[in-house]
Homo-oligomer: A and B are copies of this chain.
Amino acid sequence: MSAKLADVLKTLDKTQEAALDRLFELLRIPSVSTDPAYKSHCQSAAEWCARELKAIGFHEAKVVTTTGHPMVVAHDRAKVPKGMPHVLFYGHYDVQPVDDPGKQWRSDPFEPVVRDGRLYARGATDDKGQTFTQMKAVQSLLATGQMPVNVKFMVEGEEECGSTNAYAFVEQHAGLLAADVVVVSDSHILAPDRPSIVTGLRGMTYMEIEVFGPSHALHSGAYGGIVHNPAQALAEILAALHDGAGRVTVPGFYDDVAELSAEQRAVLAKVPFTPERLHHETGLTVPWGEAGYELHERLGIRPTLEVNGLVSGWTGEGSKTVLPDTALAKVSCRLVPDQDPEKIYRLVADYVATLTPPTVRSEVRLLHTGNWVVVDPESPYIQAAARAYEFGFGKAPVYVREGGSIPIIGTFQKVLGAPAVLLGFGLPDDNLHAPNERFNLGNFYRGMKTAVHFYQELGARA
């Protein structure tokens, strides 16, 4: 370790407790982006991020208004030697909703607490905690005058609701955001002693399928038996979207799916998704999914179609003998190379139309889309990340394809021509998008070290 790096790490160590206090502040802001009721909190979280970025040494950090939740952008003017790489860090300050009908949250999702070395809060890992890890790493480099590369931050507030404005923002501010590489800390590694680098993410087509029956809700006795119940019709449509082998039945759905070579599958097979892991993380003993593919392949290289929500008729306590007038499903597809999200929407919409009997009417509405991502494990940036993980976590990382989606990465690749490095510090059981979301504090500290080393690696090899 160089004396300079030792200096930076010492700074990091000294400020750990204070850092956690700062993170708590951010986590207390309920910046749920998908629900309009939380709009002002999203604004507050954006302002908090801009203030923090200024406080840690960025010369410019501003909140930029969009038609949705605001964007935060920051630039440093550190004394970086000419010719060093430009790095754009991307994160998001918005969080998933916390709807908790089963009262599964053990503590207030917006009052962070530490239990057993884990920080519990909505956004703890996705993505406030990870974005903050990067802020602290950059702070230690700036504070010690050791920042070897040019760093920009872009922190958005609509990642959890489709990044509606981020795509256009990147296109409109391509000059401002220009970078050689984009760094994202919004993913997880396999375990604290098993770091991993994500070399692929799935894309996304998020839709609503709504079935319309009678013009108004009816008495189920007075009309039950002569009116096609839209809740039943919706169930019939949804049930028809998969076959018995776990395959999506939408015609053309798999047409553009790139089959991996035996070599590529062999690399991924080094990190199987074990039944033990499934049981530990979900409580389930029997997996489900597409026949002919291993679990890690069903997640990483195969597309899916999921029902994310259902609602129709009477959903309260007790009974109501209603024949509903409508039934709604939230349905999303996770996509892989070379599927096109818009095309998948059209295929699903067309198929649902053919599945809809004349006794009801249906609509398929597109809520948002996102592109899949693949990165080249041989690129110098990924190699730098591999060395950084080895430094921060004490072990060389393995390469995995992730089931999740970070659609904005596709836009960065397209608009800025910059490849992405997914420098994630989460863990698989962090309860993302679920009750009791948490962030392993060990990973918080190891992540800061990893990030510091990564920036130094980028500088050293440039």
Closest to A201 in B: B221
Residues of B near A431 (CB, < 8 A) are 216
Residues of B near A222 (CB, < 8 A) are 299, 402-404, 428, 432
Cα–Cα, bound, A102→B308 (Å): 21
Q: Which of A6-14, A227-235, A251-259, A409-417 contacts B (4 or more CB under 8 A)?
A: A227-235
With both chains docked as a complex, state the minimum distance between the C-beta of A191 and any C-beta of chain B, in angstroms. Answer: 15
Partner of A226, one of B232, B278, B332, B359: B278
Could you tell me if A310 and B234 are in contact, using CB atoms closer than 8 angstroms? Answer: yes
Known: A278-B226, A310-B312, A324-B308. A319 touches B232 (CB 8 A): no
Partner of A286, one of B96, B329, B359: B359
Known: A216-B435, A226-B288. A315 touches B320 (CB 8 A): no
Taking the complex as formed, is A387 at the interface, i.e. its CB lies under 8 A from any CB of chain B?
A: no
Copies of this protein in the complex: 2
Residues of B near A317 (CB, < 8 A) are 34-36
Cα–Cα, bound, A34→B217 (Å): 18
Could you tell me if A288 and B227 are in contact, using CB atoms closer than 8 angstroms? Answer: yes
Taking the complex as formed, is A192 at the interface, i.e. its CB lies under 8 A from any CB of chain B?
A: no
Cα–Cα, bound, A334→B213 (Å): 20
Could you tell me if A226 and B432 are in contact, using CB atoms closer than 8 angstroms? Answer: no
Cα–Cα, bound, A204→B321 (Å): 10
Question: What does the 1/0 interface line of A393-420 toward B look like (CB < 8 Å)?
Answer: 0000000001111000000000000000
Could you tell me if A316 and B225 are in contact, using CB atoms closer than 8 angstroms? Answer: no
Question: What does the 1/0 interface line of A315-335 toward B look like (CB < 8 Å)?
Answer: 111111111111111101010
Q: Which of A114-122, A238-246, A338-346 contacts B (4 or more CB under 8 A)?
A: A238-246
Closest to A312 in B: B310
Interface residues on A, range: 35 or more
Could you tell me if A284 and B239 are in contact, using CB atoms closer than 8 angstroms? Answer: no
Taking the complex as formed, is A175 at the interface, i.e. its CB lies under 8 A from any CB of chain B?
A: no
Closest to A160 in B: B320
19 intermolecular pairs with C-beta atoms under 8 Å apart: A34-B316, A97-B316, A204-B221, A204-B321, A223-B281, A223-B282, A224-B306, A226-B298, A227-B278, A228-B288, A229-B306, A231-B238, A235-B236, A288-B359, A306-B321, A310-B312, A311-B311, A314-B330, A319-B332
- Contacts A34-B316, A226-B298, A227-B287 aside, 12 further interface pairs with beta carbons under 8 A come to A34-B317, A206-B321, A218-B434, A220-B308, A223-B282, A228-B288, A232-B239, A232-B241, A236-B238, A236-B239, A239-B239, A314-B330
Residues of A within 8 A of B (CB): 34-36, 96-97, 99, 102, 104, 160-162, 202, 204, 206, 213-229, 231-232, 234-236, 238-242, 273, 278, 281-284, 286-290, 295, 298-299, 302, 304, 306-330, 332, 334, 358-359, 367-368, 402-405, 428, 431-436
